[in-house]
């Protein structure tokens, strides 16, 4: 280690075009001392190591040539835990792995992102969330007393807050902000949620919208297509949440019409059936519609909507890991996306939907072989 450290110091000094005298002066040592380090005749006191790393703008790990091993271990942890998170099974092992990794890699935000995601999933699985209605209100309300007792979400909030204090990319900050605002609200920390939300840019000043004004011709066409996809996604998220939390919508067929009409908007925009990631969103709209129709006793319509959701899910799975995905409908024809970056569908996905269906529709689907995969994990 002594010899490698000396070689590394010499390598970094030459990289930066510095003389031994420059380094010696910066550290308050003699030139002979620096020379002795570089030829392996001794090594710096531990107290001076951080100053050497800072002088060359490298980490202490890199100074000791540990960087490669460290990065390989970090990648292994991230790869393993991302696979576990995508599967969305029990997160106990995943959480423990990431807690240990957060101690070992305290300055790595990706570890915190994964830990937060895993805790969020585990919070839903082990504790869940409750809401209730009031006789004189059209809305559902979070059961804040119950939800605030979710120990996994309590930890997730601390992890997300720590991640937001770091120097992370805008995309990472957006993802973490969305998750922590949602958990804040579920647990009753509405003022914290609103305060954080109010710090964010408006839709008008979002990257997606501004790029449509900043460009022209084919490049503008590309960004307009990306903006359409992004705006549709957020509209779907808000609309689904609205239908599922407003009594006058989820207790009447009005809510179903809203869900199906938005699915038709998607199908109009992606007129050639190549919907890319939108297959996921159309799937969700039809599955929600199926659940509501089944609860109203409209089994025929419920079966039709479930089948459409199932088909969109099947198409979506078939386009993943197929290289660069090219949208082709007129409004999005300049948009491409690396298909391996499309989100994976959790193994337990169908289990959650099948369990909320009324018995009649569930048995009808179970007796139909085309839906066999929906019952494999039940």
CB 299 within 8 A of CB 361: yes
Average pLDDT, the chain: 93
The reported pLDDT for the residue numbered 377 is 79
For the purposes of burial, counting CB atoms within 10 Å of the CB of 274, is it exposed (0-12), middle (13-18) or buried (19 or more)?
Answer: middle
What is the model's pLDDT at position 23? 93
pLDDT tens by residue, 174-214: 999 999 999 999 999 999 999 999 999 999 999 999 999 99
**pLDDT score at 8:** 87
State the pLDDT at residue 84: 93
Strands (E), the chain: 131-133, 140-142, 324-326, 336-338
pLDDT digits over 269-282, tens only? 999 999 999 999 99
Which helix (H) or strand (E) segment holds residue 51: the answer is helix 49-56
Tens-place pLDDT, residues 56-94: 888 877 787 766 677 888 999 999 999 999 888 899 999
pLDDT of residue 66: 63
- Separation CA 206–CA 216 (nearest Å): 18
pTM value is 0.80
Q: Is the pLDDT of residue 2 over 50?
A: no
The answer on pLDDT for 298 being more than 60 is yes
Q: What is the distance of C-alpha 229 from the center of its chain?
A: 17
Of 41, 62, 42, nearest in space to 107 by CA: 62
Cβ-proximal residues to 111 (8 Å cutoff; 6+ apart), any chain: 74, 77, 78, 98, 101, 102, 105
pLDDT tens for 87-124 read 888 999 999 999 999 998 888 999 999 999 999 999 99
Q: Is 320 exposed, middle or buried (0-12, 13-18, 19+ CB in 10 A)?
A: middle
Cβ contact 339:322 at 8 Å: yes
Q: How confident is the model at residue 143 (pLDDT cuts 50, 70, 90)?
A: very high
Distance set, CA 120 to CA 5, 148, 150, 291 (Å): 42, 13, 10, 25
- Higher pLDDT pick, 130 / 37: 130
pLDDT score, position 174: 95
Among 347, 349, 340, which Cα is nearest to 319's?
A: 340
């Amino acid at each position: 280690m002594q010899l490698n450290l000396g070689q590394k110091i010499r390598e970094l000094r030459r990289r930066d075009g510095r003389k031994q005298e420059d380094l010696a002066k910066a550290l308050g040592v003699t030139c002979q001392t620096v020379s002795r380090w570089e030829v392996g005749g001794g090594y710096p006191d531990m107290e001076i190591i951080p100053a050497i790393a800072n002088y060359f703008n490298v980490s202490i790990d890199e100074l000791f040539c540990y960087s490669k091993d460290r990065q390989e271990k970090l990648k292994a942890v991230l790869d393993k835990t991302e696979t576990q998170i995508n599967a969305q099974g029990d997160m106990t092992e995943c959480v423990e792995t990431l807690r240990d990794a957060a101690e070992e890699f305290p300055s790595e935000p990706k570890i915190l992102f994964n830990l937060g995601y895993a805790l969020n999933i585990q919070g839903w699985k082990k504790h869940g969330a409750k809401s209730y209605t009031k006789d004189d209100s059209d809305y559902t309300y979070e059961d804040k007393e119950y939800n605030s007792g979710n120990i996994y979400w309590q930890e997730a909030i601390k992890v997300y807050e720590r991640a937001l204090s770091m120097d992370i990319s805008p995309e990472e900050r957006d993802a973490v902000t969305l998750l922590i605002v949602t958990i804040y609200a579920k647990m009753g920390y509405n003022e914290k949620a609103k305060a954080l939300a109010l710090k964010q840019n408006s839709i008008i000043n979002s990257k997606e919208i501004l790029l449509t004004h900043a460009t022209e011709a084919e490049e503008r066409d590309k960004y307009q297509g990306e903006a359409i996809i992004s705006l549709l996604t957020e509209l779907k998220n808000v609309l689904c949440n609205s239908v599922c939390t407003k009594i006058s919508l989820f207790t009447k067929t009005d809510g179903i019409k809203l869900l199906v009409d938005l699915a038709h908007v998607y199908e109009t925009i992606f007129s050639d059936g190549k919907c890319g990631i939108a297959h996921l969103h159309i799937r969700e709209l039809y599955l929600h519609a199926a659940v509501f129709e089944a609860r109203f006793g409209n089994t025929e319509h419920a079966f039709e909507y479930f089948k459409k959701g199932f088909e969109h899910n099947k198409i979506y799975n078939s386009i993943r890991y197929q290289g660069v995905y090219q949208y082709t409908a007129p409004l999005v024809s300049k948009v491409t996306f690396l298909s391996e970056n499309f989100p994976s569908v959790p193994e337990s996905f169908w289990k959650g939907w099948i369990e909320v269906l009324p018995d009649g529709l569930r048995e009808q689907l179970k007796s139909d072989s085309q839906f066999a995969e929906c019952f494999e994990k039940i």
